[in-house]
Structures are given as structure tokens and as C-alpha cells.
Amino acid sequence: MNKLHKWRVTAGCDLLWHFWDGEFVVFNTGSGDTHVLDVFSGEVLRSIQQQPASAAEIATYLADTLTLTVEEVPLGRITDVLAEFHMLGLIEPVQ
């Protein structure tokens, strides 16, 4: 997966959110599926929901949000999370 490749929320899907006790609950109106995400995965998805982003751009966003340096944000974990979101139909690559 190219770290510069941009991702967006799958067309036709709205994401509805709740946050409790360090976990996000996300409802995908497109699929009707509900997901529980930890803070890291939830923030990855929130960044893409704000605007299409690449793994590298998400790392910058996470560094700001989680008050880390960009170097401290594990890029490999972001790409793993993106792959899983893609598999779940939550996101799609920007053509």
C-alpha cells in the first residue's frame, strides 16, 4: 500500500459516532454495520471523514490529535488499519 495514496469514506456512506470509555462506536449508514474502534483506529477514520487523506497525512493528523511527534506515530499500524477499513467497506481509495 502506497503511503501517499489517498483514502476517503466510501461514497454513499455516512458515519455516525459515539465515544465512551476510550472506545468509539461507529455506525455505517451505507452497510448498516456497527463497529467498535479503539482511540487510534477511531482517529484514523475520523481524519479520513474530515477529508480524504493518505497514510502519511493521517500520521500528521494523529500526531496533532494525540500530541505525539510524527516519528512516534506508527505508520505501519495506520496502513494495517486502512487495509481493514477498506475490507469492511468503510473507506475506498481516491481515484
The footprint of another protein (CB under 8 A) covers 14, 16, 18, 20-25, 27, 29, 32, 34, 36
Smallest gap from residue 61 Cβ to another protein (A) = 22
Q: Indicate the residue among 27 and 77 with the shorter CB distance to another protein.
A: 27
Q: Are 61 and 49 in contact (CB under 8 A)?
A: no
Distances (CA, A) of 32 to 29, 51, 89: 5, 22, 11
Q: Indicate the residue among 21 and 71 with the shorter CB distance to another protein.
A: 21
Q: Quick one: which of 67, 16, 72, 68 has its CA closest to 42?
A: 16
Q: Indicate the residue among 25 and 63 with the shorter CB distance to another protein.
A: 25
